[in-house]
Amino acid sequence: MSVDKVQDALTNPNQEQPFAELGLKQDEYESIREILGRRPTSSELAMYSVMWSEHCSYKSSKVHLRQFGEKAPHSDALLVGIGENAGVVDIGDGWAVTFKVESHNHPSYVEPYQGAATGVGGIVRDIISMGARPVAIMDPLRFGDPTHPDTRRVLTGIVSGVGGYGNCLGLPNIGGEIVFDASYQGNPLVNALCVGTMRHADIHLAKATGIGNSVILYGARTGGDGIGGVSVLASETFDADGPAKRPSVQVGDPFMEKLLIECTLEVLHAGLVEGIQDLGGAGISCATSELASNGEGGMHVWLDRVLLRDSTLSPEEILMSESQERMCAVVEPKQVDAFLAVCKKWDIEAVVIGEVNDSGRLTVDWHGEQIVDVPPRSVAHDGPVYNRPLARPDWQDARQANVPDDLPRPKSANEIRETFMTMIATPNLAAKTWVTSQYDRYVMGNTVLAQPEDSGMIRVDEESGLGVAVSTDCNARFAALDPYRGAQLAYAESYRNVAVTGAVPLAVTNCLNFGSPEDPSVMWQFEQAVTGLADACLQMNTPVTGGNVSFYNQTGDVAIHPTPVVGVLGVIDDVDRRTPMAWAEDGELIYVLGETKDELAGSEWAHAIHNHLGGLPPGLDLNKEKTLAEILVAGSRDGMFSAAHDVSDGGIAQSLAEMAMKSNIGARTWIPDGIDPFVFLWSESATRAIVVVARSEEMRFTAMCEAREFAATRIGVVDSQLANEIGSPDQVLQIDGVYAQSVVLPIGELREASEATLPALFG
């Protein structure tokens, strides 16, 4: 369906079932009539359609998301939780941090550049609406088959959009993921995360308080872009030929957004604002109804005062438009002139479009005619809630029974070497430099760690060195095998990636990407994943501060792998003591923390080498995961580690290769007794990390591990002289004990293989 049909539905309410073109069901339309006691106007229909969409109302997910509140652990650090634009946590010394991740999936397939760019812009506005200065962004991305012709179109556009918008804003892109899997063909995932910092006193909330206060719309003018985006595009599946519903995707202007950031922070810090809300999905419909619902409960809006880019827009289109770079503020009448003066200073257009009242209604006038008269809570918060049918899919047992045990495995040193070189160059494990080089990772000068490190890290306070680390993770193949454990494994990996750098994990955000909620098997996956994540967060004492649900990520009846992306934020008291990935000093000892088991189901080896998905994902003991994090943080704090790296995708082989390539210093490593070399190198057992320990710290380190009853196995030593000993012109990574032989891997050869893959596919 085209945007023209959406507009026809809006402007011709007498046509039969106009609500169907707007994404509303028959029973939902009848509910609206019951709430109003009459037939809705076309403008009211527009508001309800976008606000009751899956993307805005969470009508299929609410019943399960409640677990994040019901099972929320007590946390003294949590200052603002679920329900606001973004969560806020206390990191000490009067500083607070807000962070959140959201999706912009379907728009990024229809129009990759603008879809991704406006995804970044939207999450940045969520952060500034809390009163925080944005300090970093991250972008967990998922694409289809890397060899498919359309993947090049989608990936290059999305990467350009993320980089173009973020670079123009002057925000460092410090982390994220790029994952390829055929399940995302036609349904790429663009999840955007932003981190912001503020003092405690600067926190602001989205509520319209104060009878008689003015409602000011400021920022870019309202245009026709994005009409029906959340109700029509984001809340429906694609058909087999692609998106059947193609409303115009929002168009971003990062330079306007930069001005909007500075203007917003100035009016907030000057005390000129009583409540504030960004305009993203559902536009003015969302901002006015949510502000009114969260405040005194009443608001009147003069819609004809809205500044337009297109004078032909109908009132319904103005209410639904998702034009970017707009904010809505509630301001006392005596402060309006001062507010407008700040806007003028930053060359930002602003206009009073409404007033807070105690009517309990949201009313909207258009050139003297009342076109909306609704209870605001019915629009913003009391929409339909579905407890949709869920059922474990019939094929789940067969998938889990299809274990990878019989897949051919390398059985000699030569085959191990061949596998090593093949794995290092697979699209999912290969270096992402071709992408990350398009992002500015160090602008603003406070980036301490960035890709390809385990976590991005930002300095918050120059004097004390206080900082935060953030990581996002998800192995969707694990979730496809067992969504409960898969979500917990995603959380555990992100938690571990933060701890590896020396930061203490503090809080969680998530972006839950799934297929159609109208499919009982998808709803079962969703319920299992949410339950698994809520249980893990409770056990590990990390509250969920907010997040996003993205449904309808499927083409026809083929859904993506369940992809619960989990972001974890941690705090470090002094960024100078961070633990990097690269080893450095000759003679330092390489240890693997944790136990390696024969766990290859859902692994990158099974996927990349054999195109296999089956069995059960690796086991997970959250108590051990917490112990591992305590060891990693204590080792960093006490100066035991010179380097550390988590073990996840690609196993120990990938971790060792990445550490060697990052440092360009050789090492002699070996296979421990009692384990098959292949299993040791490529198993993806959870709760493991590699640490590099100075010889002078070895006894203290091993004693710490023994006291916590945690396995620590020495597997190597840093040795830059090894190349000379074996006559290699290049630094080498040597692995001894591989079926009674040694495997020698020149680091330059590893780097060449790793860095060649993405340019060959997309460059």
pLDDT band at 208 (very low <50, low <70, confident <90, very high): confident
Across the range 706-725, mean pLDDT stands at: 97
Give Dmax over CA atoms of the chain in angstroms.
88
Residue 466 near residue 502, CB atoms below 8 Å: no
Strand order in the sheet with 667-670: 641-646, 689-693, 589-593, 712-718, 667-670, 732-738, 741-746
Instruction: Indicate the burial class of 62 (C-beta count within 10 angstroms; 0-12, 13-18, 19 or more).
Output: middle
Over pLDDT 90: what percentage of the chain? 85
To the query of whether residue 645 is one of the catalytic residues in this protein, the response is no
- In this prediction, residue 12 carries a pLDDT of 58
Token reading at 330: 């509630």
Higher-confidence residue of 403 and 14: namely: 403
Question: Which listed residue (64, 104, 300, 612) is catalytic?
Answer: 104
Residue 630: is its pLDDT beyond 90? yes
Residue 83 near residue 99, CB atoms below 8 Å: no
pLDDT band at 166 (very low <50, low <70, confident <90, very high): very high
Residue 3: is its pLDDT beyond 50? no
- In this prediction, residue 244 carries a pLDDT of 45
Nearest to 159 by CA among 562, 432, 452, 567: 432
Residue 206: is its pLDDT beyond 90? no
| Residue carrying the six token digits 């001005």 | 259
pLDDT tens-digit map of 572-623: 999 999 999 999 999 999 999 999 999 999 999 999 999 999 999 999 999 9
Round the CA-based radius of gyration of the chain to a whole number and report it: 26
| Residue carrying the six token digits 């290049």 | 730
Residue 483 near residue 619, CB atoms below 8 Å: no
pLDDT tens-digit map of 260-310: 999 999 999 999 999 999 997 789 999 999 888 888 779 999 999 999 999
Higher-confidence residue of 746 and 557: namely: 746
> Up-side HSE of residue 284: CA atoms within 13 Å toward CB?
38
To the query of whether residue 55 is one of the catalytic residues in this protein, the response is yes
Residue 4: is its pLDDT beyond 60? no
- In this prediction, residue 9 carries a pLDDT of 58
Determine the residue type at 743. V
- In this prediction, residue 293 carries a pLDDT of 87
State the Cα–Cα distance between residues 66 and 239, nearest whole angstrom: 31
pLDDT tens-digit map of 220-272: 999 988 776 555 555 566 555 554 444 567 788 999 999 999 999 999 999 99
Nearest to 190 by CA among 108, 71, 72: 108
Task: Please enumerate in sequence order all residues whose Cβ is within 8 A of that of 611, keeping only pairs 6 or more positions apart, or say none.
Answer: none
Token reading at 103: 């999706």
pLDDT tens-digit map of 22-76: 788 899 999 999 999 999 999 999 999 999 989 889 999 999 999 999 999 988 8
Q: Where are the domains of the chain?
A: 1-423+447-575, 579-763
- In this prediction, residue 241 carries a pLDDT of 53
Which secondary structure element, helix H or strand E, spans residue 351, and what is its range?
A: strand 349-357
pLDDT band at 748 (very low <50, low <70, confident <90, very high): very high
CB atoms near residue 692 (< 10 Å): 27
Nearest to 447 by CA among 432, 431, 467, 463: 467
- In this prediction, residue 477 carries a pLDDT of 98
DSSP line for 515-569: S-TTSHHHHHHHHHHHHHHHHHHHHHT--EEEEEEE---EETTEEPPPEEEEEEE
- In this prediction, residue 680 carries a pLDDT of 98
- Report the range of poorest mean pLDDT among 106-110, 404-408, 430-434, 752-756: 106-110
Q: Which CATH class is domain 579-763?
A: alpha beta
Task: Please enumerate in sequence order all residues whose Cβ is within 8 A of that of 227, keeping only pairs 6 or more positions apart, or say none.
Answer: 3, 6, 7, 247, 248, 317, 320, 321, 322
**What is the chain's mean pLDDT, rounded?**
93
Backbone angles phi, psi at 82, to 5 degrees: -60, 140
Across the range 135-144, mean pLDDT stands at: 97
Determine the residue type at 236. E
Write the DSSP symbol of residue 172.
-
Across the range 453-457, mean pLDDT stands at: 97
Across the range 172-177, mean pLDDT stands at: 96
State the Cα–Cα distance between residues 381 and 690, nearest whole angstrom: 47
